[in-house]
Copies of this chain bind each other. A is one copy, B any other.
């Protein structure tokens, strides 16, 4: 795509210092310019005629050049890319006026084309070099780190996201199974990127790839050896209700024979590429993995997650501090023995949940009722009510899953206790109801739930705590 005259003028203006009689900007930079300056000039050249003939070579140079800079210098170049390379203002004004005068489809198309910032073409050309995609993803990661306080980077961020959304389209992703036959260069990425339940070195990784486990990842051919997202699955008999037996098992654990399993538990999903934030993969991954597993193991009947409830404690504490704390009087009374004299509901909860409270059967039994009920309350609030929905719930419910079961002490590792008093949740992916669940959730905020969860929430009114905890 050749530039118009006026765009060139704009480039000339921008890079005036290096332009020599209007032509020099297509030259490669002089050897004595700084690295930063060199990168900027290469970017301009890449968008010029020179870029048309020698695009891949120039793109390679630019990428090498960016890689060689310090982070601060690179940030300066990125800011330049973000602050320049806007559409030709005269042309855009003309197209906007034409559209307003006569809003035909053709005029709309022309306006869209006039409004495309040349920056997008520049980024597409940078992508031509070997390693170009990886570099652009890395640049966006840096940009995201600065974005909150550096608004000047927003246009560049937006253009990158737009391109990534198109380039990393589901149709271009490859699902690969990952197991102990996979290369170390990929496997070590799992250790690095696992975001839910930390992988503690190679022996732990090996345990997660034993025959009763499955692991799948999406890859894109422009990022070889780089998983974009991966999911860890345990094959079980029935819904797993706790992560401890899944994670903390001996190295030579055997587990259920895969052909005997009736359930696939998705117990960890991790996005790997910070630079691709905003491009969603999880929904597709889960659904394709369900299909893969069905094909391999036709006896599988349930496909469900074992998920954390990261926002429960924070929500509950806010509730307890509010004017209408959600504990019933009966519940508050049962907490007394463990409250150490505390009087407010929040203090009572804090007192009751100090130390390793879950290993004290009496405490655990007492707390189970109210906490399970309130977890149901927390998770079943309608998304339409304007309330902040739990982030993990939002993801799975938005994918069309159903809230199937709430599990007491499903995660007694520190993070699980801290986030949600150890409560974990199964979200069930039932292909028959996914579309309807999703639609209801998006349109009305309604949370699809099992009868069991429904009943759990109902327990508040009906009965005392003792029953609830049984």
Contacts and interface: CB of A to CB of B under 8 A. Distances in A.
A439 B127 contact: no
A284 B128 contact: yes
Nearest to A288: B56
A348 interface: no
A53 B400 contact: yes
B92 A99 contact: yes
A146 interface: no
A185 B174 contact: no
A171 B133 contact: yes
Contact of A171 (B92, B129, B171, B283): B129
Contact of A182 (B57, B183, B399): B183
Contacts of A127: 169-172
Contact of A53 (B116, B170, B225, B438): B438
Given A86-B105, A86-B108, A287-B56, A172 B167 contact: yes
A311 interface: no
B184 A128 contact: no
Contact of A108 (B87, B222, B288): B87
B49 A439 contact: yes
A93 interface: yes
A393 interface: no
A76 interface: no
Given A155-B109, A185-B181, A222 B49 contact: no
Nearest to A187: B184
Interface string A12-53: 000000000000001000000000000000000000011011
Interface in A77-129: 83, 86-87, 89, 92-93, 96-97, 99-100, 103, 105-106, 108-109, 111-112, 115-117, 124, 127-129
Contacts of A155: 105-106, 109
A108 B92 contact: yes
Nearest to A183: B181
A328 interface: no
Contacts of A116: 112
A52 B434 CA distance: 11
B105 A115 contact: no
B124 A52 contact: no
A327 to B, nearest CB: 36
Contacts of A434: 53-54
A275 interface: no
A158 B100 contact: no
Interface centre among A109, A206, A400, A434 (most CB of B within 10 A): A109
A93 B109 CA distance: 13
30 contacts: A49-B438, A49-B443, A50-B435, A50-B439, A52-B442, A53-B283, A53-B400, A53-B435, A53-B438, A53-B439, A55-B170, A89-B103, A92-B103, A93-B99, A100-B100, A105-B155, A106-B155, A108-B115, A108-B117, A127-B169, A129-B171, A132-B171, A163-B166, A167-B167, A172-B172, A174-B221, A181-B184, A182-B184, A183-B184, A221-B221
Sorted nearest first, the 7 A-B pairs with minimum C-beta distance are A53-B438, A112-B115, A128-B170, A127-B171, A96-B96, A202-B202, A53-B400
Given A53-B398, A182-B183, 12 more contacts: A26-B439, A52-B438, A53-B439, A54-B434, A87-B108, A89-B108, A106-B155, A108-B117, A111-B115, A166-B166, A180-B183, A183-B183
